[in-house]
Amino acid sequence: MADDFTGATDLATNWVARGVRTTVTLGVPTPGELAALAGDGGGGDAVVIALKSRTAPVAEAVGESLAALAALRALGCERIYDKYCSTFDSTPRGNIGPVADALMAELGTGLAVVVPSFPATGRTVYRGHLFVGDQLLGDSPMRHHPLTPMTDASLVRLLAPQTAHPVTTVGLDVVRGDPRALRAALDGAGGEGPRYAVVDAIDNGDLARIAAATADHPLVTGGSGLALGLPARGAPATGAMPVIPGHRAVLAGSASAATRGQIDAARSALPSRLLDLAALRADPAAEVARLTEWARAQWADAPGTPVLVHSAGAPEDIERRTPEGQRPAAELVEEALAGCAVAFAGAGARQFVVAGGETSGSVVRALGVRRLELGPALAPGVSWAMGPDAGGTRYNLALKSGNFGERSLFTSAWKELG
């Protein structure tokens, strides 16, 4: 299970790259959807349930996660992967700790590893500290995150306030030593009563060693990088993904440094509009309608050209200060981009690149898409996918974590669709 929609496709992308046939469901499957998944005739190895729980109230996040666990167990899943952001996005209250606590209790296990490392995207853990590239997490641009500012790099200090269970560390020397010593260190971390073990990892070889040492664990937690530690089962498990004809749009709600760089690179090539927060506060429906008419005009002039609607174009846009007594700007941005997705779809858009976990969740829910099949990878943790809405209208979707992807992604992604 993943705590946002981009995290779900991120994890699925990495499993598919290892030859694991993977389906993504957007939200906890209904009984009917469970029956359809179970009736696929054994055509899949893994299911990823995408939740929108990263910044939800703690009780809501725990409840959704337990419902996802019940659905996975009903499908016969034997191992559970609790996927959260590789930058450990959370607050002192959660939601990483409370969700993992609930899963450990339900599964009756006494140990869960904590492995946010994803070296391909610059996330590594050394001596229990999380790095983003060459910077400690607390020194990285994540310290300015509008919802979950990350001001410390110690995973022990970050996780300890979120759980009543002890948090230990397993160093890189143990990870790279005798495999029996690594297993013993993890078994010892279990001790008496539930515990967490933060495990160092700075390259994919470390992830492979951790994956081998936890092969019989009923629960692992971390970013999606640990999925790359699985032994390859053959060629990437992607079939021929249908390309759905229609207009193209980039909807960028993330204010991360990576997404701002992608916006900056795309604005010289794509028609673009910055969301007007004042207009959204005054009349959100009118602002969405204005953007839709603008997009229609762009597509009329150049049908194959994507349009770009974004929430942040300069560092000062990150602040998004909210006037006292008014709704948070982040909520307005999410709703506006979800509204744009629906209106753009009504105008014939069928191919979307969406940047930001919260934004992706809002957009996909608004479109009514409930299941995704993975297609070609665009970058580490990012791939194209295809899914239908309840009425059978299909969409190509690339759901991108705010921090992922090359600078050219918003213009280069479309080449994979032809």
Output the CA angle 339-54-19, nearest 5 degrees: 95
pLDDT at 191: 63
pLDDT tens sequence across 3-57: 999 899 999 999 998 999 899 999 999 988 988 888 765 558 899 999 999 999 9
pLDDT tens sequence across 351-368: 999 999 889 999 999 999
331 pLDDT band, cuts 50/70/90, is: confident
Amino acid at the residue 235: A
pLDDT at 232: 87
As a whole number, mean pLDDT of residues 218-222 equals: 97
- Global pTM value: 0.86
pLDDT at 323: 65
pLDDT tens sequence across 62-112: 999 999 999 999 999 999 999 999 999 999 999 999 999 999 999 999 999
Average per-residue pLDDT in the chain? Answer: 91
- DSSP annotation string for 248-311: EEEEE----HHHHHHHHHHTTTS-EEE--HHHHHH-HHHHHHHHHHHHHHHHHH-TT--EEEES
| Cα–Cα separations (whole angstroms), residue 311 to 90, 172, 273, 295, 414 | 22, 40, 9, 16, 21
318 pLDDT band, cuts 50/70/90, is: very low
Q: What span, in angstroms and rounded, lies between the C-alpha atoms of 154 and 167?
A: 11
Q: 192 near 150, Cβ under 8 Å?
A: no
pLDDT tens sequence across 276-291: 988 999 999 999 999 9
Query: Which has more pLDDT, 321 or 346?
Result: 346
As a whole number, mean pLDDT of residues 338-348 equals: 98
pLDDT at 141: 87
pLDDT tens sequence across 139-178: 998 888 878 899 999 999 999 999 989 999 999 999 999 9
Q: What domains can you pick out in the chain, each with its CATH number?
A: 5-229 (3.40.50.10840), 247-417 (3.40.980.20)
